Structure 1
C-alpha cells in the first residue's frame, strides 16, 4: 500500500490521521531560544497561551532534510511507494526539504506534491490521498487524484488583524490592506500558494456573513471544513450556517494549529472546501 506523508500545517485531527495511517512530520515553532515540534512538543492550548503572553511573536521553521530522510527510510525500502504532500512552496521551505531528502534516496519511489495551500486545504488533499491508498489505488492514480483535489480546493478566512501575517513575512499581496488595519476585519484567501486579499469588512458579524455567502456561491462541495483559532463557539455557529449547503454531519471542524496560528493569530474563522468535480 502506498504510504502518505504530510506536515503538521495540515491541521488534520490526530485521530483521523491515525485512522488513515497518515505520517505527519512536524514543523518547529520558536519562542525566543525555545523550539517546539508542532503538535508533538506543544499543543494548541499551550501555543495560543504563549502567543498571547509573549512580548515577541514566535517564528516557525521547516523540518530539516535529515528529518525527512529519516522518516522516509523508516517507512520502508525502495519497493515502498511514498507520496509526500506539503504546505505551499511559497509559504514554507518544507517542500524543498522533502525534495532534497528524496534526492538523497534515488532508489526510493517518493512523489513530492505541492498542495499550493496550507491548513485543512492541504489536509483535504492528504485525507483524500490516504483514503485512496487504503482503497488500493496505485501511486499514479493517487497522484492524479491529489492534483485534482488541489485544483478544486478553496480557502477563505476572516482575521481579527493582519499584524501576525505582516510580522511573519507571509503577507504577500495583502500589503494593500495594511493602511486600514485598525478599522477593518480583513478577509484573505490562498490561491496558487499565495496569501491574497479578498475583501475588507467592518465587523466580525459581516466577516462571517460574507464568507458564508462565498461558500454558497462555490457550492456544491465534496468536502467542507470550518477553520477557527480559539473561537470554537463562533465556528460552531458558522457551521450551522453552512449546513444549508452541505450535510451538517459531514462538515468537519479543525482548529488552526501552531505554525499557521503564528501567522494569523487567534480569532480567525473561515472554511476550506473541495468543490465537486465536473
Structure 2
C-alpha cells in the first residue's frame, strides 16, 4: 500500500516545505475585510501583520469542503492507495469533524486523524506520520498511533495584546482593559483540545520565564522517561523582528541545552487569534525516526 500524508498550514508546514518533504499541504483561508486569502498563495505572515496594524477586520475560516476534496482527489490521482489527513485539533476548529464526514464518501481510503494538536506539535505529528508511512505502515495504523500519542505534547504561549482574544470572546472587554493598564500578559496553554489560561504575569520577560519554567516542569514529570533524542523543543510565534526571534529562540536554547531548539512562525489563521508579537514554546514526544 502507498500511503500519502496530508495536512494544512496550521501545522506550520508551508505548501512548498510539504512538497519537498513529500507531504501534501492544504492552505488555510484568512478573511480580511470580507475578502478570502489562502495562506502562502495569496497572503504572507508579513502582509497579515500589516493588516493588523491597519486595524482591518479579519478572521480565520475553515477550508471549504470543495478544496479539501479537490486535494484528496488529486492525491489519489497521483497514485496513492490511501490518505492520512491530519488537520488541526477538533477542540479548536470544526474542520476536523467536517473532514471526518467528507471521508465517509471515500470507502476508508481517507483516514482523518484527530490528535488534538496545532502548530509545532501538529507539525511533529505530520513528520511522524511521514516516517511511519515510509516504513510501510498503513493509513489505519498511522491514525491509531497518532491518536494514541495525541497528548504526548505541551504548548505555552504568551500574547502581546489581548485585542484579538477579546474579539473572539475568550476574555471580557473590562478584563482586557485592566490587563492593558497593568501590563498583564496572559500565558496560555494547550494540553490537548482547547486553549486555556495558565497564568497571569506582569511584563513580557516574566511571561517568558514562566513559560520556560512550566515546560521544565512538564519535562521533569510527564516526559521524564523520554530520551532526549525523542523529545523535541520548539519555539513559535508572530514575532516581527529577526532579533526578537533570535533572542527568544536563544533564551529557550540556553534553558534546554540538551536539545536543538528551532523556531517556526505561527500560521496566519492562528495569528488572527493571538495577534502580533506573540511568543510560544512547546515540547513534543516524537516517533522513532531512524
Give TM-score scaled by structure 2 length: 0.84
Separation in structure 2 between the aligned mates of residue 223 and residue 14 of structure 1, nearest angstrom: 23
Q: Choose which of 276, 279, 283 in structure 2 pairs with 1:273.
A: 283
- Aligned counterpart, 1:156: 156
Deviation at 1:129, TM superposition (A): 1.1
- The reply to whether residue 245 of structure 1 matches residue 245 of structure 2 is no
Deviation at 1:226, TM superposition (A): 0.4
- Aligned counterpart, 2:232: 223
3-state SS of 1:51 partner: helix
- Aligned counterpart, 1:255: 265
Contact 1:13 1:254 in 2 (8 A): no
The runs of 5 or more residues in structure 1 that have no matched partner are: none
Contact 1:66 1:101 in 2 (8 A): no
Separation in structure 2 between the aligned mates of residue 276 and residue 108 of structure 1, nearest angstrom: 26
Separation in structure 1 between the aligned mates of residue 263 and residue 123 of structure 2, nearest angstrom: 12
Separation in structure 2 between the aligned mates of residue 74 and residue 117 of structure 1, nearest angstrom: 25
3-state SS of 2:37 partner: strand
Change beyond 3 A, Cα 1:222–1:177: farther
Contact 1:125 1:149 in 2 (8 A): no
Separation in structure 1 between the aligned mates of residue 280 and residue 162 of structure 2, nearest angstrom: 15
Deviation at 1:241, TM superposition (A): 3.0
- The reply to whether residue 165 of structure 1 matches residue 165 of structure 2 is yes
- Cα deviation, 1:84-127, whole Å, max 9, x if unaligned, reads 1111223222113312221222x241111123232222212112
Contact 2:233 2:283 in 1 (8 A): yes
Contact 2:15 2:27 in 1 (8 A): no
The runs of 5 or more residues in structure 2 that have no matched partner are: 220-227
Deviation at 1:158, TM superposition (A): 0.8
Separation in structure 2 between the aligned mates of residue 11 and residue 30 of structure 1, nearest angstrom: 19
- Aligned counterpart, 2:70: 70
Deviation at 1:6, TM superposition (A): 0.9
Contact 1:212 1:241 in 2 (8 A): no
Separation in structure 2 between the aligned mates of residue 229 and residue 192 of structure 1, nearest angstrom: 21
- Aligned counterpart, 2:86: 85
Contact 1:158 1:270 in 2 (8 A): yes
- Aligned counterpart, 2:244: 234
Give the count of matched residue pairs: 271
Contact 1:69 1:104 in 2 (8 A): no
Separation in structure 2 between the aligned mates of residue 74 and residue 242 of structure 1, nearest angstrom: 40
Separation in structure 1 between the aligned mates of residue 195 and residue 141 of structure 2, nearest angstrom: 29
Deviation at 1:245, TM superposition (A): 2.2
- Cα deviation, 1:171-214, whole Å, max 9, x if unaligned, reads 2xx66964742120110011331110000110101011111112
Separation in structure 1 between the aligned mates of residue 196 and residue 282 of structure 2, nearest angstrom: 15
